[in-house]
């Protein structure tokens, strides 16, 4: 009974993420068409959507440490979710706003992703604390699976509304329902999950850090506790830079599907849904293995990523489908089990900063990877070789990292 109760907050956070992803991922495929309808050029669409994703990653460097300094993790979590819950449904008003519609839509699209940056480090600290009694690997995996369910349902919902109503405003407006549900769930959860910030004050730089749990699989070794900028954390973040630089964005895969493999555009969302299903399975499987066998399960990540350009950018539909599924598995591991290890590497009162710093490394890698794939797309053998080199570097750095976090015998 006690274990069942311990799962309650983890599932609660997962349901909040599910409802929020219905909102955010439901709107994301429609951002380009909306901006185009409002008169935006291709350049402006790229700047707005690209700037929104950069804000989602880069601003975590601000809000992660800020949450740690103030220790108001619930305040940042609720503010970030509220931003998304308000900004996305308001996109329904943009086509009705006349000349100001384009500016309004651009601000709201970026505002949604700023909300992601505001809440993500603080929410992950809360989730790490809530998942500790059931195992962080399992806890993050279950949360990610529910999160991905929302990423599947959102595009399906807006597609159905578009078919029925025939206009973008109705599709955005209907997202107010899951947005309200997410906020209500969050208020309910706030009453049941204690803010880690209610504990002892966070130590200033140079002070002795609080002890970190030791000895269990996937937890840091006995001995000197890790801090945010310890060698082992930085090594792990460097490994993340390399694997992120090799993990192709799905936009490149969908471009390849429609231009080279001649897959109808209407089929692409179904393939993306299959990738999200694979991501959920990858997160669950590696989460369980992480709790049982430790962080060595993450060694599979660079191997998976190295195979993605070989398969997903192949000329045959069968290989491309296999590549999409591998891409989904790698994405699921990156967004769940990786975060479980960060929680075990970093003292609780520094985790908001840690998730912000780590996201910056991943974001920088993704930016470099986007440039790499764009430059070498037409030179496929060079692209495959470059990704292989990046993943070999990631594997070496990850091996060194895991040697340092292995519990003392």
Per-domain residue ranges for the chain? 2-194, 231-405
Other Cβ atoms closer than 10 A to 406? 13
Q: Characterize 7-44 residue by residue with b for buried, 16 or more Cβ atoms within 10 angstroms of its Cβ, and e for exposed.
A: bebbbbbbbbbbbbbbbbbbbbbbbbebbebbebeeee
Quick check: helix, strand or coil at residue 400? helix
CA distance linking residue 298 with residue 281, whole number of Å: 15
pLDDT for position 228 = 58
Please tell me the predicted confidence (pLDDT) of residue 79: 97
Burial class (CB in 10 A: 0-12, 13-18, 19+), 189: buried
Mapped onto helix, strand or coil, the DSSP state of residue 341 is: helix
pLDDT at 216: 39
Residue 218 region by backbone torsions, left for phi larger than 0, else alpha for psi between -120 and 50, else beta: left
d(C-alpha 291, C-alpha 306), whole Å: 25
SS3 76: helix
Nearest-angstrom CA–CA distance, 278 and 329: 5
83 close to 111: Cβ distance less than 8 angstroms: yes
Segment (H or E) for 22: helix 2-27
Full pLDDT tens readout for the chain, 409 residues: 555 667 888 899 999 999 999 998 888 777 777 887 888 876 677 677 767 777 887 788 889 889 989 989 999 999 999 999 999 999 999 998 888 999 999 999 999 989 999 999 899 889 988 888 888 788 888 887 888 889 888 888 888 888 888 788 998 999 999 999 999 999 999 988 877 766 544 444 444 344 443 333 344 444 444 445 678 899 999 999 999 888 877 667 777 777 778 777 556 667 777 887 888 888 888 888 888 888 889 999 999 999 999 998 888 888 999 999 999 899 889 878 888 888 888 887 787 788 888 888 887 887 787 778 777 878 889 999 999 999 999 999 999 998 887 643 3
Tokens of 31: 């951002």
pTM of the predicted model, to two decimals? 0.67
**CATH code for the structural domain at 2-194:** 1.20.1250.20
Which residues 6+ apart lie within 8 Å of 98 measured at CB?
Answer: none
Task: Please check whether residue 145 is in contact with residue 276, taking contact to mean a CB–CB distance below 8 angstroms.
Answer: no
Distance from C-alpha of 326 to C-alpha of 312, rounded to nearest angstrom? 9
Three-state secondary structure call for residue 1? coil
Both tokens assigned to 397: 């750095």
Q: How far apart are CA 250 and CA 255, in angstroms?
A: 8
Same fold: 2-194 with 231-405:
yes
CATH of domain 231-405: 1.20.1250.20
Q: What angle do CA 161, 164, 167 make, to 5 degrees?
A: 70
**Residues near 10 by beta carbon (within 8 Å), at least 6 away in sequence:** 127, 130, 131, 134, 139, 142, 143
CA distance 159 to 147: 19
CB 59 within 8 A of CB 357: no
- Cα gap 365→239, rounded to integer Å: 10
Total length of the chain: 409
């Amino acid at each position: 009974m006690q274990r069942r109760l311990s799962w309650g907050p983890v599932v609660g956070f997962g349901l909040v993420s599910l409802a929020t992803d219905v909102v955010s991922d439901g709107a994301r495929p429609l951002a380009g068409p909306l901006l185009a309808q409002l008169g935006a050029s291709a350049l402006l669409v790229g700047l707005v959507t690209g700037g929104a994703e950069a804000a989602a990653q880069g601003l975590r460097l601000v809000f992660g440490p800020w949450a740690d300094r103030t220790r108001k993790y619930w305040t940042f979590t609720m503010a970030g979710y509220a931003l998304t819950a308000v900004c996305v449904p308001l996109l329904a008003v943009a086509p009705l706003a006349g000349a100001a519609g384009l500016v309004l839509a651009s601000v709201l699209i970026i505002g949604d992703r700023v909300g992601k940056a505001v809440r993500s480090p603080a929410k992950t600290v809360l989730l790490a604390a809530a998942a500790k009694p059931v195992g962080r690997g399992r806890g993050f995996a279950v949360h990610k699976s529910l999160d991905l369910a929302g990423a599947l349902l959102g595009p399906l919902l807006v597609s159905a509304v578009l078919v029925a109503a025939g206009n973008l405003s109705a599709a955005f407006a209907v997202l107010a329902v899951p947005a309200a549900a997410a906020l209500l769930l969050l208020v309910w959860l706030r009453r049941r999950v204690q803010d880690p910030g209610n504990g002892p004050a966070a130590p200033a730089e140079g002070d002795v850090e609080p002890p970190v749990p030791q000895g269990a699989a996937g937890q840091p070794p006995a001995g000197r506790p890790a801090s945010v900028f310890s060698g082992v954390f930085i090594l792990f973040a460097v490994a993340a830079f390399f694997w992120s630089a090799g993990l192709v964005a799905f936009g490149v895969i969908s471009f390849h599907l429609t231009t080279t493999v001649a897959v109808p555009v209407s089929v692409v969302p179904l393939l993306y849904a299959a990738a999200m299903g694979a991501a959920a399975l990858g997160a669950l499987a590696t989460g369980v293995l992480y709790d049982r066998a430790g962080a060595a399960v993450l060694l599979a990540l660079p191997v998976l990523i190295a195979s993605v350009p070989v398969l997903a950018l192949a000329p045959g539909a069968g290989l491309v489908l296999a590549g999409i599924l591998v891409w989904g598995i790698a994405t699921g591991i990156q967004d769940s089990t990786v975060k479980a290890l960060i929680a075990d590497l970093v003292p609780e009162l520094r985790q908001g900063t840690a998730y912000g710093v780590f996201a910056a490394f991943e974001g920088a890698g993704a930016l470099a990877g986007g440039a790499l794939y764009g430059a070498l797309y037409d030179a496929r053998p060079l692209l495959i070789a470059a990704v292989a080199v990046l993943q070999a570097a990631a594997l070496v750095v990850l091996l060194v990292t895991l040697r340092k976090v292995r519990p003392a015998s």
